[in-house]
Amino acid sequence: MSRRESFAVQLDKHRRTSQRRGSTYAQRLSLAEQVGTATDEVTAPFTSTFAPGEMRQLALVAHNHMKPAMKQFIETYSEILKKFRITGTQTTMKMCKSMWGEDDPAIHYGLTCTSGPLGGDAQIAALMCVEDLGGIIFFVDPLSAHPHQADIDSLLRLANCGNIIVCPNPASASSMMHTLRCALLKGDSARGMIPSFFETLESPAVEEYKHQQAVALANVIKGNSPSAPAPQAAEPPKEVGKSVSFGTEKSVSFGEPAPVEEEKKKKEVADISQTTIDRALMGQSMMFSDERLQALLAVESDDDSDDDEEDGSSDEEAPTAKVSKGLFGIKTSSTKKSRGRMGLKKLGKSVRNMMISK
């Protein structure tokens, strides 16, 4: 039995249907009549105990494929919606004004935002940030891609941060109309039914976030932040001259040209890291001047005649520059002269030949 078939069998065995679910056409028709009766009751004319200016704005937003549903919703629940300062995107506000008129002094319109893809959702989110938005009725199209999806996500995220009323579909919005009507009828004693229209609320997660931010700020002020750079020891003063750094653990410093002894020149050659020579072999020798490189390689040319003699010598160990493996994997730390010491001399010769060929 396949996994899908097994899941279907489990659903068939454990499916729980409501005992009140209409199983016949007559029962479903009876339920529809009950919904109609409840809608008629909630949309009957009434007088609100709150003026529109005493409450925060109520936003109406709908995606393109949901605009017909939004128009039907506004027509059905106009008696309740007109008791609020209505804000929304451009198309939704035009629908409201076409049905209610623009000159009725009893109707207080809020901000008319631009179209959603042009920043309308961001404008509604801004109203929330300035504490003038109590609820959002947002008919979202779940089957279409939206070019301003980032704005939509931002609006819904901020609505959750502000803990305001959000109705993302007609079913939840229709149920919310009953609560809004009841609160408008009862007055001050019913502010707790729609608190976001009167007070600034926040998500329970906001308190923990603020605590973490306070701890991070205190650590930065005290200098104990894990992300703060550790204090570094003062570097010794560098010699006067040009210094070139190759991003490795060693650097090469070239002072002013002056006559030096042969041994000192050889020591400078040995101090160059293997990575430096690797980069030179890969065509990055321009990181230091040709004159300096040629002067450096001139030291190697004097010792080329000694290579054959050393290659045939005994396995006696000799100290060499202690550096890590370079890009070519050549290790020059504590190697033997017989085989391991391909060394800086031959590499220098290769670099010199490369520079001459250029």
CB 92 within 8 A of CB 70: yes
- Please give the full DSSP string across 277-299, using - where no structure is assigned: HHHIIIIIGGGS-HHHHHHHHHH
- List of long-range contacts for 200-208, beta carbons under 8 Å, 24+ apart: 200/131, 200/162, 201/162, 201/163, 201/164, 202/161, 202/162, 202/163, 203/160, 203/161, 203/162, 203/163, 205/161, 206/161
Q: Indicate if 271 belongs to the active site.
A: no
Phi, psi of 292 (to 5 degrees): -65, -40
CB 39 within 8 A of CB 122: no
CB 308 within 8 A of CB 349: no
Q: Which residue has the tokens 């959002």?
A: 136
Q: With CA atoms as reference, report the closest residue to 311 among 340, 333, 334, 332.
A: 340
- Collapsed DSSP state (helix, strand, coil) of residue 209: helix
Of 12, 121, 304, 315, the catalytic one is 121
Q: With CA atoms as reference, report the closest residue to 275 among 323, 342, 242, 320.
A: 323
Residue 257 to residue 69: CA distance in whole angstroms: 85
Which contiguous run of DSSP H or E holds residue 59? strand 57-62
**Torsion of the alpha carbons at 218, 221, 225 and 231, rounded to the nearest 10:** -160
**What is the biggest distance separating any 2 CA atoms in the chain, rounded to whole angstroms?**
111
Neighbour tally for 218: CB within 10 Å: 11
Strands 109-112 and 86-88: parallel
Residue 73 to residue 170: CA distance in whole angstroms: 7
Residue 52 to residue 49: CA distance in whole angstroms: 10
Which contiguous run of DSSP H or E holds residue 243? strand 242-245
Catalytic residues: 121
